[in-house]
């Protein structure tokens, strides 16, 4: 297996051998991902700072069952759990929300707050729906640096797939106070964006 990245970063012989013997899974803005075995992946980052920030989020989130467990890391890589499931954006393209899934979203954002994240938000494509409708996070970033007091980007993704009202109806049932805060903010944001076009 050859490298699927060309940036001149130094990786130890051990990490280069792991990459050579792993299955290439994909490439994104921040780097490339290889599947080491049935349970683990290695993510190679383009920038040391991005790797450091993602590792810090995973380290500080290690007690949450929604985050993959880390098995090793270096300046440019993280070895962690392989996350199965269906990406939330793809799931919502074909399926409606249900109470269990809505509760999982609410619980995840509450966990973010308990873990003292500044950014209480995540993209739909960074969440994977499990068979029991729990959620797993795959690409946490800037949670301690950037501030966002509600899941704006997440709800924008739901809106794009025409699932936002459905989701907020469940939130109203789960936590009316939270519903009021989230719905007021997201609808103001969506309206402003619509007017800016």
One-character DSSP codes across 42-63: EEEES-HHHHHHHHHHHHHTTT
Map 109-133 to HEC letters. HHHHHHCCCCECCCCHHHEEECCCC
pTM of the shown model: 0.89
Same-domain pairing of 95 and 108: yes
pLDDT in tens, 22-68: 999 998 888 899 999 999 999 999 999 999 999 999 998 888 999 99
Work out the average pLDDT over 163-169.
Answer: 98
Phi, psi of 160 (to 5 degrees): -60, -30
Quote the domain boundaries for residue 59: 13-81
Confidence of residue 7 (pLDDT cuts 50, 70, 90): low
Same-domain pairing of 137 and 177: yes
The last residue of a domain, from among 58, 81, 104 = 81
Q: Where are the alpha helices (DSSP H) in the chain?
A: 13-20, 48-60, 88-94, 99-114, 152-160, 164-174, 176-196
Q: Is the pLDDT of residue 1 over 50?
A: no
Q: Are 59 and 106 in contact (CB under 8 A)?
A: no
The last residue of a domain, from among 81, 105, 133 = 81
Same-domain pairing of 182 and 112: yes
Same-domain pairing of 91 and 55: no
Q: Are 155 and 181 in contact (CB under 8 A)?
A: no
Domain count, the chain: 2
């Amino acid at each position: 297996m050859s490298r699927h990245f060309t940036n001149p970063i130094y990786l130890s012989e051990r990490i280069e051998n792991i990459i050579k013997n792993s299955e290439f899974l994909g490439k994104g803005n921040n780097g490339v991902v290889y599947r080491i075995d049935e349970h683990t992946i290695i993510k190679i980052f383009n920038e040391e700072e991005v790797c450091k920030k993602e590792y810090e989020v995973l380290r500080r989130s290690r007690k949450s069952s929604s985050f993959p467990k880390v098995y090793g890391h270096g300046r440019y890589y993280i070895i962690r759990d392989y996350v199965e499931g269906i990406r939330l954006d793809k799931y919502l393209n074909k399926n409606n929300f249900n109470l269990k899934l809505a509760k999982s979203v609410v619980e995840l954002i509450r966990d973010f707050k308990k873990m003292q994240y500044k950014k209480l938000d995540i993209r739909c494509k960074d969440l994977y729906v499990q068979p029991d409708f729990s959620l797993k996070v795959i690409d946490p970033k800037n949670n301690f640096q950037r501030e966002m007091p509600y899941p704006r980007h997440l709800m924008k993704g739901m809106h794009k797939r025409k699932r936002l009202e459905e989701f907020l109806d469940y939130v109203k049932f789960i936590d009316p106070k939270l519903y009021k805060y989230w719905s007021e903010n997201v609808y103001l944001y969506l309206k402003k964006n619509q007017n800016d076009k």
